Structure 1
Amino acid sequence: MSRFLRRRRSPEQPTPEPVAYLELPDEDDEDDAGPIGAPISSPVSNPVTIPSVAPVNPPAPVAPPTPPTPPTPPTPAAPAVEPAIPVSPAVVALPAPPAPAVPPAPPASSTPPAAPTPSAADQGDQQAQQDSTETTRRPWDGLAERIETFGDSRWPVRGWGLAIAVALAALICAMVPVGPSWLGQAGAVVVASAYSWALAGRTGGRPVVFGSLAAALGLAALISGRDDLATGAAVMTCVVSAVLAVMITVPARTFARAVRECVIAVVVAGIGALATVGFEPVVTVADFEYATFGIALAMVFVVVYRLGAGLHGLGRRGAVIVLVGGVLVVITVLYAELLRRYGTPTIVESSLDIVRWSRDNLGAFPRPLEAVLGIPALAYGVHMRARRRQGWWVCAFGVAATAATANSLVNPTIGLTETGLSVLYGLLVGLAIGYLVIRLDLFLTGSGGGARSSGRRSRVDEEAAASRPEPRRTQPLR
C-alpha cells in the first residue's frame, strides 16, 4: 500500500507549483532522512533523484528555485488591457534595416523654375512640323471658318432685313409706277430668294442652297420673259410666303401676344403678295388660289410633322383639332366651289347681296377662309404652343389665312385698297373667334390640366405657368 507524504508549508514560503509524485512499494523504510513521497523540486530541501527505470528520452534539466519576492502594496486597478501574445524564445527578432537618408527639401521660392530651353535641333523640328502643317492646309479652310463665324453673328439677320426693305421699296415703286419697268421683277426675285433662305434656316435646312435656287429660278423667269416660268416663280413665292408666315411665329402666353403674332404673320404674307404679283403671272384666279392653298397646306404639314417627330406627338387633343380643322377646310372650300358652279340664282344672289352691302358700307368683305379658319387657328395655335406641343398642329391651319393673304393681289378686278381692307376685316373677325376659342379652352382645361379656372387671378397664374420653351424668331426650330 502506497503512502503519500506531504511536508507542511511555512507561512513565509510561496506556494510551490504542483508537481508529480512517485509511487513506491511498501518495502522502503519509514525512518529515511526524507519522505519517500517528497516532490522532486522543493524550495527547502535539495532535490532527490529517485532511481527508477530510465525513460526513453532523457529528462529535461530542472531550473533552480527562484527566491521569494517580497509582497508589494496593492495598486489601483488598471484598465483591462488585452494580454500580449507571448513570443517563443526560439524566434529571434532581427534588427530593422536603417531607413534611407532623406535629402533636405530645397528652399521654397516664389518664382517657378524656368522651363528648359529647347535645343536648336528641337526648334528645327517644331519649325518643320509647322511648315508642313501650313503647306497641307487647304486654301478654303480659312474661308469656311470665316463664313461660320459670320453666320453665328447678327449680321445675316440685319442683311436679310435690309434686303427685304430694299425689295419692298422697289415693289412699291413699281406699283406707283416710278422707275424702270424691271424694278418690280427685281424686287420680287429678292423677296423670293430671301424668303426661301429664311424658311430653310427656320426649319433646319440649308439656307444658302435653297436661297440660291430660288434666286436662280427668279432670274431665269426675269431674263427669259416666258409666262410659264413667271407663273411658276409666282406660285413658289406665294407658297413660301404663306409657310414662312406661319413658321416665323413664336409661342404666346397671353392673348395680346397672340394678336401680335397674327399681325406679324399677315405682314409677312402681305410682302409675299407684292412679290407674287411682281412676277406678273398669267393665271386663272380660282385655280391659282386653290393651287397655292393646297401646296402651302401640304408643305406646312410636312414641316410640322418633322418638328413634332412624327404623329406620336399629336396626342388625343391634337388629333381632334386636326380632324376639326380638316373638316372645316373641306366644308368651306366645297361650299364655295359648289355655290359658284351649281348654286341656284336665288342663293347666289342672296350671298352676293351680303357681299355688295359690305363693300358699299364697309369698303370690303372679309375673306371667309381667312376669317373662319386661318386666323382663329393661328391665334389659338400660338397660344397653345406656350403650354402644349400640339399647338404646332393647330398653327398648321393658320396657312389658310396666310395663303389667302399671299394670293390676294392676283385678282385684277379688286383694287389695292379693297384687298387691304378685306385682309384687315378677316384679321379682326378671326381674332374675335380666336379669343372665344382660347377662353373656352382655358375654361374647360385651365392651368391644372382639367381643373376649371375663372377670374383674373387664375388667368394670371395660368399665364405665368405657361413656359414651354422654343427657339427665338431668328433661330432654327430644330
Structure 2
Amino acid sequence: MTRAAPRRRADPAPRRRAAEKPTRRWGRSKPSGEARGLEPAYVELPDERPVAQPAEEPVEQQQAPTVEGLVAEPPPRPRPVALEGPTAPVGVRPEDSTRAPWQEIVLWVGVIIGGLACLAAGARSLGPDVLPGIGSVAIATAYTWVLCARTGGRPVLFTALAAALGAVVLLVDLPELRTGASVVVAAIAAVLGVVITVPAVRFRQAARECCVAVGVAWIGALAALGLEPTLTLARFEYAVLLLALGGAFLVVYRLGAGLHGLGRRGVVIVAVGGVTLLVTLLYAEMLRRYGTEGLIESLLGVVHWSRENLGAFPRPIETVLGIPALAWGVHMRARRRQGWWVCAFGVAATAAVSDSLVNPAISVLESVLSVVYGLVGGLLIGYLVIRLDLFFTGSGGGRRAVGRRGRRAEEAENAVRPEPKRTDALL
C-alpha cells in the first residue's frame, strides 16, 4: 500500500505580489497566471475623483439645560448688618425690611442725645422732677438695643423689656428699685463700652478705642446718676463690677470660640488677668478694713496731694488693669481671636467709669479728671505691654519687631484678622 503524496501548500508570495502589483484600469484586475488555481486577488482602488463637500452649516451654541426643581439651589448668604431688629436671624437684616441701617443708627443716637438733654435739664432744675429719670430710662433703652444688636441678641424683645422696667421704676418710685436700676444701667454701659470697640492694628488706634469705650461708659454714668440711687458706695461698685464681668465673659465666650479657643497663651493671659483683678480688689478691701493708721495716712497723703495739685486721683483698677487690658486686647484682636479674652478685663476700666459719678464725696469735675488721668496712665502701661508682646511674638521673633521697620512688617504679616465694623453685628 502506497502512501499518498503530501498536499502542497500554496505559496502566499504570489498573492502578496498580486496585491502589491499596480493596475492601470479602474475596477478588478485579471487573475494572475502564477496563482496556479488559487482564487484571484482583487484590488479595490480608491476613488480619487474629487467629491464636492457640502457647506458646513453654522451650529448654534445652545446652553446646557439646567435641572430646575430637582436640586434646590442654596440661598444667598446674607450680609451681617448692625443694629437690626430681632425678626431676622442673629446679626442679619431681614430681606423684606425697607429701612436702611443708618436710619436705625440715627434713631438710637437721637434717643441717646434726647436722654442727655433730659439729664442736663434736670441738673439745672428745668422741667418736672421726673425728667432726669426719663432721660436715664431713654439711655438705658438705647444701650440695651445696641448691646443686643451688637452681640447677636434680640433687640426688640429686650429693649421693650428694659423700657417697661424703667417705666415701672419711675412710676413706683422706690429707692430700692432706683438703686437696682442704676446698677443695671451702669453694668450695661460697662459691657457695651468693651463690645463696641474694633480691632486696632497700631497703638494709636488702640488708644482711640479706649477713648471710645470710656466715652460710652461715661454716658452710662450720667444715666446711672439720673436715677438718684440710694447706696453704700463699696457695695454699689462691687455689684456693678461683678455684673459687668459676668456679662462680658458670657459675650466673650461666644466671640472667642469658647474655652477651646484660648490655647496655652490665652490660658496664661486669663490667669494673669484674674489674679491681678483679685489682688487689686483684695488689697483695697484689706487696706480699708485692716490697714494700720500710719500706712493709711501715708497712702491718703498721696491721694490728698494729687487732689490738691492735680485736681483728682486716678482710679487704681482703671489705671493698672482696665485700660492696659483693653488697649492690649484690641491690639491683639487684629491678630488673634484670643484678644477678646483680654478685652474682657477691660470691663474693670469701663465699670470704674460708669459708677464714678455716684460717689457724693467728689464733684463732677474731679470725677472727669480722675477718669482722664486713669486713661492716660493706663495707656502708658498698655503701650509698654504691647511693645513687650511685639518683642517676643512679633514678625520674625526677637528684636526684629522692635524697630519701625519690624513693626510694619509685623502689621503686614499678622494684623490681617477681619472683624465686622463698629455698626455691624459681631455674631
TM-score band, normalised by the shorter chain? 0.7 to 0.9
Q: CA deviation at 1:173?
A: 2.1
- 1:345 to 2:293 alignment: yes
Partner of 2:345: 397
Partner of 2:417: 468
Q: Report SS of the residue matched to 2:384.
A: helix
CA deviations over 1:68-94 (Å, ceiling 9, x no partner): xxx999649xxxxxxxxxxxxxxxxxx
| 332 and 151 in structure 1: CA distance in 2 versus 1, 3 angstrom threshold | farther
Give the whole-Å Cα distance in 2 for the aligned partners of 1:392 and 1:4: 109
Q: CA deviation at 1:200?
A: 0.8
| 74 and 270 in structure 1: CA distance in 2 versus 1, 3 angstrom threshold | same
Partner of 1:183: 131
Q: Which one is further off, 461-470 or 420-429?
A: 461-470
| Pairing 1:2-21 to 2, within 5 Å after superposition | none
Q: CA deviation at 1:147?
A: 9.6
CA deviations over 1:339-392 (Å, ceiling 9, x no partner): 111100000000000000000110000000000000000000000000011100
Give the whole-Å Cα distance in 2 for the aligned partners of 1:437 and 1:308: 21
Give the whole-Å Cα distance in 2 for the aligned partners of 1:359 and 1:434: 24
Residues 391, 397 of structure 2: 8 Å contact kept:
no
Give the whole-Å Cα distance in 1 for the aligned partners of 2:3 and 2:171: 149
Give the whole-Å Cα distance in 2 for the aligned partners of 1:173 and 1:424: 25
Q: CA deviation at 1:450?
A: 7.0
| Letter matched to residue 348 of structure 1 | I
Give the whole-Å Cα distance in 2 for the aligned partners of 1:210 and 1:428: 35
Residues 150, 156 of structure 1: 8 Å contact kept:
no
Give the whole-Å Cα distance in 2 for the aligned partners of 1:468 and 1:72: 80
Partner of 1:425: 373
Give the whole-Å Cα distance in 1 for the aligned partners of 2:168 and 2:122: 20
Could you say which structure has the higher helix fraction?
2
| 72 and 341 in structure 1: CA distance in 2 versus 1, 3 angstrom threshold | closer
- Structure with greater contact order relative to length (CA < 8 Å, sep ≥ 6): 2
Q: CA deviation at 1:453?
A: 2.0
- 1:454 to 2:417 alignment: no
| 432 and 73 in structure 1: CA distance in 2 versus 1, 3 angstrom threshold | closer
Q: Report SS of the residue matched to 2:249.
A: helix
Partner of 1:200: 148
| Letter matched to residue 406 of structure 1 | S
Give the whole-Å Cα distance in 1 for the aligned partners of 2:4 and 2:105: 124
Q: Report SS of the residue matched to 1:154.
A: helix
Give the whole-Å Cα distance in 2 for the aligned partners of 1:204 and 1:320: 28
Give the whole-Å Cα distance in 1 for the aligned partners of 2:20 and 2:122: 128
Partner of 2:64: none
Residues 273, 406 of structure 1: 8 Å contact kept:
yes
- 1:244 to 2:156 alignment: no
Q: CA deviation at 1:151?
A: 5.7
| Letter matched to residue 219 of structure 1 | A
Q: 1:359 aligns with which of 307, 314, 318?
A: 307
| Pairing 1:19-418 to 2, within 5 Å after superposition | 75=22, 149-150=97-98, 153-418=101-366
Give the whole-Å Cα distance in 1 for the aligned partners of 2:21 and 2:103: 99
Give the whole-Å Cα distance in 2 for the aligned partners of 1:3 and 1:412: 144
CA deviations over 1:203-223 (Å, ceiling 9, x no partner): 111001111111111111111
| 182 and 150 in structure 1: CA distance in 2 versus 1, 3 angstrom threshold | farther
| 408 and 150 in structure 1: CA distance in 2 versus 1, 3 angstrom threshold | farther
Give the whole-Å Cα distance in 2 for the aligned partners of 1:333 and 1:4: 128
| 419 and 337 in structure 1: CA distance in 2 versus 1, 3 angstrom threshold | same
Size of the aligned set, in residue pairs, is: 351
| 73 and 163 in structure 1: CA distance in 2 versus 1, 3 angstrom threshold | closer
| 464 and 345 in structure 1: CA distance in 2 versus 1, 3 angstrom threshold | same
| 251 and 203 in structure 1: CA distance in 2 versus 1, 3 angstrom threshold | same
Residues 237, 272 of structure 1: 8 Å contact kept:
yes
Q: What residue ranges of structure 2 are gaps of 5+ in the alignment?
A: 10-17, 24-86, 88-92
| 173 and 148 in structure 1: CA distance in 2 versus 1, 3 angstrom threshold | farther
Give the whole-Å Cα distance in 2 for the aligned partners of 1:452 and 1:323: 28
Give the whole-Å Cα distance in 1 for the aligned partners of 2:185 and 2:313: 25
Partner of 1:24: none
Residues 387, 402 of structure 2: 8 Å contact kept:
no
Q: What residue ranges of structure 1 are gaps of 5+ in the alignment?
A: 6-16, 20-70, 77-140
Give the whole-Å Cα distance in 1 for the aligned partners of 2:20 and 2:182: 122
Q: CA deviation at 1:455?
A: 1.6
Q: CA deviation at 1:163?
A: 0.9
Percentage of identical aligned residues: 58
Residues 246, 395 of structure 1: 8 Å contact kept:
yes
Greater C-alpha Rg: 1
Give the whole-Å Cα distance in 2 for the aligned partners of 1:396 and 1:73: 96
Give the whole-Å Cα distance in 2 for the aligned partners of 1:407 and 1:241: 10
Partner of 2:51: none
Q: CA deviation at 1:227?
A: 1.1
CA deviations over 1:240-297 (Å, ceiling 9, x no partner): 0000000000100010110110000000000000000111111111110011101111
Give the whole-Å Cα distance in 2 for the aligned partners of 1:3 and 1:246: 119
With structure 2 as the length reference, what TM-score do the two structures score?
0.78
Residues 400, 406 of structure 2: 8 Å contact kept:
no
Partner of 1:58: none
Give the whole-Å Cα distance in 1 for the aligned partners of 2:3 and 2:260: 110
Q: Report SS of the residue matched to 1:470.
A: coil
Q: CA deviation at 1:18?
A: 5.3
Q: Report SS of the residue matched to 1:253.
A: coil
Q: Report SS of the residue matched to 1:472.
A: coil
Residues 445, 451 of structure 1: 8 Å contact kept:
no
| Letter matched to residue 467 of structure 1 | V
CA deviations over 1:1-31 (Å, ceiling 9, x no partner): 97999xxxxxxxxxxx959xxxxxxxxxxxx
